Structure 1
């Protein structure tokens, strides 16, 4: 299983009291991303490990695997290390040049047999073909709502029969009271990991209108519309979940 890089630079981006600018995956975020993810996203490590296990079980010979919105490439590396079949390639795509540059360095620093090709590009424009596994790991939530269905449609069409989609997202509950309790638990998680009240507030302001969460039923409805007949949640902690969909 994959472990994070040792002692990554500390995320202190939101310690400033000035009004934060909208969240962007720029060089500042890329530099502290492993620490940010580890301290902000409950269950992230388990999801990455699960992606590796799923790659072992589902990836077929001579097929492609895609990591859409790959950031530093943790899911790409998990797939590559999990793949036991031959003739495969992992294609990692992100529209942030800062992320792609660091992704290339990150994946090169770990042993993996299946090659990883990191591409700077827009996931809405990337062609998907001959795929046995696609990962959208906390990516769709940053995509404009009007484009989300077309991206899921494209993934479905590019998957081979029996192909797998892993869709991980920050979610909202359909029940407002439950939703607030989940948000409270998430904030407690961040406090326990050393984030101050100011940092939690500033990050939340920066993500407003940038990260737009949806309910699990909205995600499953979109998957069904695309053509997936099998989908369900395989991992959830607080208001973060991961869904499996099989073609």
Structure 2
């Protein structure tokens, strides 16, 4: 297993990050596989024959690999979008890959039935993030859905502190070394910006572990 060197300033643009990413993210986020399974469960309800699915922030293809049986069985089309050439060079999953920035990507042109943002919107600049979310909502075909899994702003008070410690405990139990956890947190400063509750208006929460949550927005059906 290749060990990742954590840079002082986090970036997805370096090949060495992409090469070690899959192992690293499972160590740092012990609930990663569980959350992936939840995404697949919800996604299957919105993928029909010939559907278009956009995986925004696809990285090396975790979501594409997990959805592969459904995509194949329903002849659905996956578009894997990421702004890192290094990540897409390491992409190993079904679908076509596109280099693109969330802030400028033309979602509407693809007429998606489903958009998945798995640990990606927290890396979009907060000043532009709500606009990206609204454009994704507007781009969905009738009865489509937008699934988001990301870090959220922490809950305040003692309960918030306990939830943060839950995350630390899970990392430690998964084998992450304390110095690496600290290094990663400092590396993400100013790069990873948690989601705000107001950005998720109209969504339904479907997952929570520590400071991370999953949400779904279901577009109106055509007769509504």
**TM-score scaled to structure 1, two decimals?**
0.80
Name the structure 2 match of 1:147.
128
CA contact (8 A) 1:27 1:98 kept: yes
Does 1:69 find its partner at 2:82? no
Structure 1 residue 21, shift from structure 2 partner: 2.1
Match of 1:183 among 164, 187, 191: 164
Match of 2:86 among 79, 98, 108: 98
CA contact (8 A) 1:30 1:99 kept: yes
Between the aligned partners of 1:220 and 1:126, the Cα distance in structure 2 is 20
Structure 2 counterpart SS, 1:161: coil
Name the structure 2 match of 1:169.
150
Between the aligned partners of 2:142 and 2:158, the Cα distance in structure 1 is 40
Number of residue pairs matched by the alignment: 215
Name the structure 2 match of 1:228.
none
CA separation of 1:52/1:174 partners in 2, compared to 1, >3 Å: closer, same or farther? closer
Structure 1 residue 169, shift from structure 2 partner: 0.6
Does 1:121 find its partner at 2:100? yes
5+ residue gaps, structure 2: 220-224
Match of 1:38 among 19, 26, 36: 26
Structure 1 residue 131, shift from structure 2 partner: 1.1
CA separation of 1:234/1:36 partners in 2, compared to 1, >3 Å: closer, same or farther? same
Query: Once superposed, what is the RMSD of the aligned Cα atoms?
Result: 1.8
Structure 1 residue 246, shift from structure 2 partner: 0.4
Name the structure 2 match of 1:49.
37
CA contact (8 A) 1:136 1:168 kept: yes
Does 1:207 find its partner at 2:194? no
Name the structure 1 match of 2:200.
220
CA contact (8 A) 1:42 1:238 kept: no
Between the aligned partners of 1:162 and 1:206, the Cα distance in structure 2 is 39
Q: Structure 1: which 4+ aligned runs deviate by more than 4 Å? A: none
Match of 1:192 among 173, 181, 184: 173
Between the aligned partners of 1:220 and 1:211, the Cα distance in structure 2 is 17
Structure 1 residue 28, shift from structure 2 partner: 2.0
Deviation digits for residues 187-231 of structure 1, max 9, x if unmatched?
12122222222211111110111111134x23322xx3xxxxxx2
**TM-score scaled to structure 2, two decimals?**
0.88
CA contact (8 A) 1:130 1:159 kept: yes
Match of 1:133 among 79, 99, 114: 114
Name the structure 1 match of 2:222.
none
